[in-house]
Copies of this chain bind each other. A is one copy, B any other.
């Protein structure tokens, strides 16, 4: 139950153990935080490995056998027989200790903290999956519990307890997950979030190989880039690639560029590490910058690139 990152990771584990796997997801796609066309690639790859996907269906009940074992899962579209049901339907923060102590809770019931990781009570700090954080791009309180964020928050909390005054700048929603041989990642805002934050989002999609055709071991990479049509500012990216294509490397570059408030033009001229064993001469994020910069110029003048049409 649940076709998010944990559910899709577990598809690989269960399949490798020889189990028949069915994913039931209430959204109309697996990986609901990815764009539909990216999610479709994850679904197709999982189906190739024998995974069945039931989408757009909530679980109504789980039935059991007389001996206490599971019998099946019931949705609006019928029953799925099952010997084992894994619930990967999300998590909640454990913040009762804090709220019982009179500490204010924030987004999704997580402990509310400021940029110094201070709670509403003096000398009490919170960090990690129990605490809120700030979205660095929108300034909004969010709850995005991830191991990498927890560690940064923990360090910031400790620094502040010792009086450093450092501010944790927050998160920008970067994540990556391995599903079979696919790397699936994202950073920044999606189109809906970008519009809510007052941007005019423009998206481009590219498909490229990770290495030149003469070099062995290359893999395909799909990269989606989102920028603000008015300013050209980069807003986010999504990536899917085969493990051997080092797709996460092509996500970290736009992740840093987004944090730095770079534009599509800036991305075009990044001086990245190129040699044939590592990338193509103009690496995937730079191609995306080229395409995005051209798209924005075209939309500005309402004609072909550079007004020549």
Q: Contact residues of A with B, CB < 8 Å? A: 136, 146-152, 155, 159, 162-164, 166, 168-178, 183, 185, 187, 243, 246, 248-249, 251-253, 255-257, 259-260, 262, 265-266, 268-275, 277-279, 281-283, 286, 290, 297, 305-308
Contacts and interface: CB of A to CB of B under 8 A. Distances in A.
Contacts of A257: 256, 260
Contacts of A168: 269
B249 A252 contact: yes
A152 B252 contact: no
23 contacts: A147-B274, A147-B281, A148-B271, A148-B272, A149-B271, A150-B281, A151-B281, A155-B282, A159-B306, A163-B307, A164-B305, A170-B269, A171-B271, A172-B271, A173-B271, A248-B273, A249-B249, A249-B252, A252-B272, A256-B256, A256-B270, A256-B272, A259-B262
Contacts of A174: 271-274
A70 B133 CA distance: 68
Given A183-B278, A248-B249, A271 B306 contact: no
A303 B241 CA distance: 47
Contact of A274 (B146, B278, B306): B146
Given A162-B306, A306-B164, A308-B162, A148 B274 contact: yes
B147 A269 contact: no
A251 B273 contact: yes
Nearest to A273: B176
A206 to B, nearest CB: 15
A237 to B, nearest CB: 10
Nearest to A174: B271
A135 to B, nearest CB: 10
The 9 closest A-B pairs by CB, nearest first: A260-B260, A176-B273, A148-B274, A256-B256, A249-B249, A174-B271, A178-B277, A248-B273, A164-B306
Contacts of A173: 271
Contacts of A286: 152
Given A155-B268, A164-B297, A248-B278, 9 more contacts: A151-B281, A169-B266, A171-B271, A175-B275, A249-B249, A251-B273, A256-B256, A256-B260, A259-B271
B282 A255 contact: no
A97 B226 CA distance: 44
Nearest to A290: B155
A164 B272 CA distance: 24
Nearest to A178: B277
A260 B307 CA distance: 29
